[in-house]
Amino acid sequence: MRIVLVGPPGAGKGTQAAFLAKNLSIPHISTGDLFRANISQGTELGKQAKAFMDAGDLVPDEVTIGMAKDRMEQPDAVNGFLLDGFPRNVSQAEALDVMLQAEGMKLDAVLDLEVEEDEVVKRIAGRRICRNDSSHVFHVTYAPAKTAGVCDTCGGELYQRGDDSEATVRNRLEVYHTQTEPIIDYYKAQGLLVTIPALGEVADVTKRAMDALKK
Protein backbone atom coordinates (compact mmCIF):
# COMPACT_ATOMS: atom_id res chain seq x y z
CA MET A 1 0.00 0.00 0.00
CA ARG A 2 1.06 3.58 -0.66
CA ILE A 3 -0.38 5.92 1.90
CA VAL A 4 0.03 9.60 2.77
CA LEU A 5 -0.69 10.92 6.26
CA VAL A 6 -1.65 14.58 6.59
CA GLY A 7 -2.70 16.66 9.56
CA PRO A 8 -1.46 19.67 11.51
CA PRO A 9 1.74 19.51 13.54
CA GLY A 10 0.87 17.69 16.76
CA ALA A 11 -1.99 15.68 15.22
CA GLY A 12 -0.11 12.50 16.05
CA LYS A 13 1.14 11.68 12.56
CA GLY A 14 4.46 10.30 13.81
CA THR A 15 2.84 8.20 16.54
CA GLN A 16 0.16 6.80 14.23
CA ALA A 17 2.60 6.29 11.37
CA ALA A 18 4.79 4.06 13.54
CA PHE A 19 1.83 1.79 14.42
CA LEU A 20 0.30 1.77 10.94
CA ALA A 21 3.60 1.04 9.20
CA LYS A 22 4.18 -1.89 11.57
CA ASN A 23 0.65 -3.26 11.04
CA LEU A 24 0.93 -2.95 7.26
CA SER A 25 4.60 -4.05 7.02
CA ILE A 26 5.63 -1.00 5.03
CA PRO A 27 8.35 1.55 5.86
CA HIS A 28 7.43 4.76 7.66
CA ILE A 29 8.97 7.63 5.72
CA SER A 30 9.02 10.90 7.64
CA THR A 31 10.67 13.86 5.92
CA GLY A 32 10.93 15.61 9.31
CA ASP A 33 12.87 12.61 10.70
CA LEU A 34 15.06 12.50 7.59
CA PHE A 35 15.90 16.20 8.03
CA ARG A 36 16.61 15.73 11.75
CA ALA A 37 18.91 12.78 11.00
CA ASN A 38 20.78 14.89 8.44
CA ILE A 39 21.12 17.73 10.92
CA SER A 40 22.49 15.50 13.67
CA GLN A 41 24.96 13.93 11.20
CA GLY A 42 26.04 17.40 10.04
CA THR A 43 25.40 16.72 6.32
CA GLU A 44 25.17 19.42 3.65
CA LEU A 45 21.44 18.72 3.32
CA GLY A 46 21.05 19.11 7.08
CA LYS A 47 22.81 22.47 6.92
CA GLN A 48 20.44 23.61 4.19
CA ALA A 49 17.36 22.53 6.15
CA LYS A 50 18.20 23.68 9.66
CA ALA A 51 17.33 27.39 9.58
CA PHE A 52 13.97 26.71 7.91
CA MET A 53 13.08 24.05 10.45
CA ASP A 54 14.13 26.17 13.43
CA ALA A 55 11.81 28.93 12.19
CA GLY A 56 8.96 26.48 11.55
CA ASP A 57 9.03 27.23 7.82
CA LEU A 58 9.00 24.67 5.04
CA VAL A 59 12.37 23.55 3.71
CA PRO A 60 12.50 24.55 0.00
CA ASP A 61 11.01 22.05 -2.46
CA GLU A 62 14.31 21.61 -4.37
CA VAL A 63 15.86 20.08 -1.25
CA THR A 64 12.80 18.24 0.04
CA ILE A 65 11.51 16.55 -3.11
CA GLY A 66 14.90 15.06 -4.03
CA MET A 67 15.39 13.72 -0.51
CA ALA A 68 11.90 12.18 -0.41
CA LYS A 69 12.37 10.62 -3.85
CA ASP A 70 15.73 9.05 -2.85
CA ARG A 71 14.12 7.52 0.20
CA MET A 72 11.10 6.16 -1.74
CA GLU A 73 13.47 4.51 -4.19
CA GLN A 74 15.16 2.41 -1.47
CA PRO A 75 14.58 -1.35 -1.83
CA ASP A 76 12.40 -1.60 1.33
CA ALA A 77 9.85 0.75 -0.28
CA VAL A 78 9.18 -1.14 -3.52
CA ASN A 79 5.95 -2.67 -2.24
CA GLY A 80 4.65 0.41 -0.52
CA PHE A 81 5.30 3.10 2.06
CA LEU A 82 3.62 5.37 4.52
CA LEU A 83 4.53 9.01 3.96
CA ASP A 84 4.47 11.27 7.02
CA GLY A 85 5.07 14.99 6.47
CA PHE A 86 5.39 14.72 2.70
CA PRO A 87 3.83 16.14 0.58
CA ARG A 88 3.40 19.36 2.50
CA ASN A 89 2.28 21.71 -0.27
CA VAL A 90 0.56 21.36 -3.65
CA SER A 91 3.76 21.43 -5.69
CA GLN A 92 5.17 18.53 -3.63
CA ALA A 93 1.89 16.63 -4.16
CA GLU A 94 2.18 17.20 -7.90
CA ALA A 95 5.82 16.07 -7.88
CA LEU A 96 4.80 12.91 -6.01
CA ASP A 97 2.11 12.15 -8.61
CA VAL A 98 4.65 12.56 -11.41
CA MET A 99 7.13 10.29 -9.59
CA LEU A 100 4.52 7.58 -9.04
CA GLN A 101 3.08 7.80 -12.56
CA ALA A 102 6.57 7.32 -14.02
CA GLU A 103 6.68 3.96 -12.22
CA GLY A 104 3.08 3.05 -13.09
CA MET A 105 2.10 3.37 -9.44
CA LYS A 106 -0.49 5.37 -7.54
CA LEU A 107 -1.50 6.25 -4.00
CA ASP A 108 -4.08 4.04 -2.29
CA ALA A 109 -5.27 6.53 0.30
CA VAL A 110 -4.59 9.83 2.02
CA LEU A 111 -5.45 9.85 5.71
CA ASP A 112 -6.20 13.26 7.18
CA LEU A 113 -5.81 13.27 10.97
CA GLU A 114 -8.24 15.86 12.27
CA VAL A 115 -7.67 17.65 15.60
CA GLU A 116 -8.64 21.09 16.88
CA GLU A 117 -5.99 23.76 17.17
CA ASP A 118 -6.13 24.12 21.00
CA GLU A 119 -5.45 20.43 21.41
CA VAL A 120 -2.57 20.56 18.96
CA VAL A 121 -0.85 23.33 20.91
CA LYS A 122 -1.19 21.36 24.17
CA ARG A 123 0.16 18.22 22.56
CA ILE A 124 3.19 19.90 21.05
CA ALA A 125 4.13 21.91 24.14
CA GLY A 126 4.39 18.70 26.23
CA ARG A 127 5.90 16.45 23.58
CA ARG A 128 9.22 14.73 24.37
CA ILE A 129 11.14 12.59 21.90
CA CYS A 130 13.82 9.94 22.32
CA ARG A 131 17.28 10.82 20.99
CA ASN A 132 17.77 7.23 19.79
CA ASP A 133 14.52 6.79 17.90
CA SER A 134 12.04 9.55 17.09
CA SER A 135 9.16 7.05 16.94
CA HIS A 136 9.51 6.78 20.75
CA VAL A 137 7.32 9.76 21.60
CA PHE A 138 6.12 10.78 25.09
CA HIS A 139 4.10 13.64 26.56
CA VAL A 140 4.73 15.15 29.98
CA THR A 141 1.02 14.86 30.90
CA TYR A 142 -0.72 12.60 28.37
CA ALA A 143 1.93 9.89 28.02
CA PRO A 144 4.62 10.43 30.66
CA ALA A 145 7.74 8.26 30.72
CA LYS A 146 8.06 6.08 33.84
CA THR A 147 11.25 7.97 34.75
CA ALA A 148 11.18 11.62 33.67
CA GLY A 149 13.58 12.27 30.81
CA VAL A 150 14.27 8.58 30.07
CA CYS A 151 12.73 6.57 27.23
CA ASP A 152 10.64 3.60 28.49
CA THR A 153 11.39 1.61 25.34
CA CYS A 154 15.17 1.90 25.02
CA GLY A 155 16.52 4.01 27.91
CA GLY A 156 17.47 6.87 25.55
CA GLU A 157 17.45 10.50 26.62
CA LEU A 158 14.18 12.36 26.02
CA TYR A 159 14.34 15.89 24.65
CA GLN A 160 12.07 18.63 23.38
CA ARG A 161 12.45 19.45 19.69
CA GLY A 162 13.75 22.98 19.16
CA ASP A 163 10.82 23.74 16.86
CA ASP A 164 8.30 22.67 19.53
CA SER A 165 8.67 26.02 21.34
CA GLU A 166 5.48 28.06 21.54
CA ALA A 167 6.55 30.82 19.12
CA THR A 168 7.65 28.35 16.46
CA VAL A 169 4.52 26.24 16.88
CA ARG A 170 2.37 29.26 15.99
CA ASN A 171 4.28 29.71 12.77
CA ARG A 172 4.10 25.98 11.98
CA LEU A 173 0.30 26.11 12.35
CA GLU A 174 0.13 29.16 10.10
CA VAL A 175 2.31 27.40 7.51
CA TYR A 176 0.05 24.34 7.78
CA HIS A 177 -3.10 26.40 7.09
CA THR A 178 -1.69 28.36 4.18
CA GLN A 179 0.54 25.78 2.48
CA THR A 180 -0.42 22.26 3.54
CA GLU A 181 -4.22 22.43 3.88
CA PRO A 182 -4.68 23.01 0.12
CA ILE A 183 -3.43 19.44 -0.49
CA ILE A 184 -6.54 18.18 1.31
CA ASP A 185 -8.73 19.51 -1.53
CA TYR A 186 -6.19 18.26 -4.06
CA TYR A 187 -6.54 14.69 -2.76
CA LYS A 188 -10.30 15.03 -2.19
CA ALA A 189 -10.64 15.80 -5.90
CA GLN A 190 -8.74 12.55 -6.63
CA GLY A 191 -11.14 10.60 -4.39
CA LEU A 192 -8.29 9.55 -2.08
CA LEU A 193 -9.07 11.52 1.07
CA VAL A 194 -10.23 9.80 4.26
CA THR A 195 -10.77 11.96 7.34
CA ILE A 196 -9.84 10.32 10.64
CA PRO A 197 -10.92 12.00 13.91
CA ALA A 198 -7.65 11.99 15.85
CA LEU A 199 -8.89 12.76 19.38
CA GLY A 200 -8.87 10.11 22.10
CA GLU A 201 -6.63 7.12 22.82
CA VAL A 202 -3.75 6.43 20.47
CA ALA A 203 -4.92 2.84 19.93
CA ASP A 204 -8.46 3.99 19.05
CA VAL A 205 -7.13 6.37 16.42
CA THR A 206 -4.97 3.58 14.95
CA LYS A 207 -8.05 1.34 14.79
CA ARG A 208 -10.08 4.03 13.01
CA ALA A 209 -7.28 4.42 10.48
CA MET A 210 -6.88 0.66 9.94
CA ASP A 211 -10.66 0.25 9.53
CA ALA A 212 -10.70 3.04 6.96
CA LEU A 213 -7.87 1.42 5.00
CA LYS A 214 -9.67 -1.94 4.86
CA LYS A 215 -12.57 -0.31 3.00
State which amino acid sits at residue 162: G
Give the residue, chosen from 48, 64, 135, 206, that forms a contact with ligand ADP under the rule CB under 6 A: 64
Cα atoms in the 13 Å half-sphere on the side-chain side of 84: 26
Report the C-alpha gap between 141 and 151 in whole angstroms: 15
158-159 β-sheet, strand order: 137-139, 127-130, 158-159
Give the residue, chosen from 19, 81, 86, 186, that forms a contact with ligand ADP under the rule CB under 6 A: 86
Contact 201, 142 (CB under 8 A): no
Contact between 92 and ligand ADP by CB under 6 A: the answer reads yes
Give the residue, chosen from 5, 17, 39, 53, that forms a contact with ligand ADP under the rule CB under 6 A: 53
Residue of 2, 71, 88, 123 marked active site: 88
Give the residue, chosen from 35, 81, 138, 187, that forms a contact with ligand ADP under the rule CB under 6 A: 35
71 is catalytic: no
**Regarding beta strands 137-139 and 127-130, do their DSSP bridges make them parallel or antiparallel, or are they unpaired?**
antiparallel
Helices 31-40 and 61-72 pack at an angle, to 10 degrees, of: 100
Sign of CA dihedral 85, 91, 93, 95: negative
State which amino acid sits at residue 171: N
Residue of 71, 127, 128, 208 marked active site: 127
x/- binding map, residues 130-169, to ligand ADP, per CB under 6 A?
---------------------------------x------
Residue 109 vs 124, nearer CB to ligand ADP: 124
214 is catalytic: no
Name the residues annotated as catalytic: 13, 88, 127, 161, 172
What residues make contact with ligand ADP under the rule CB under 6 A?
9-10, 13, 31-32, 35, 52-53, 56-59, 64, 85-86, 88, 92, 163, 172
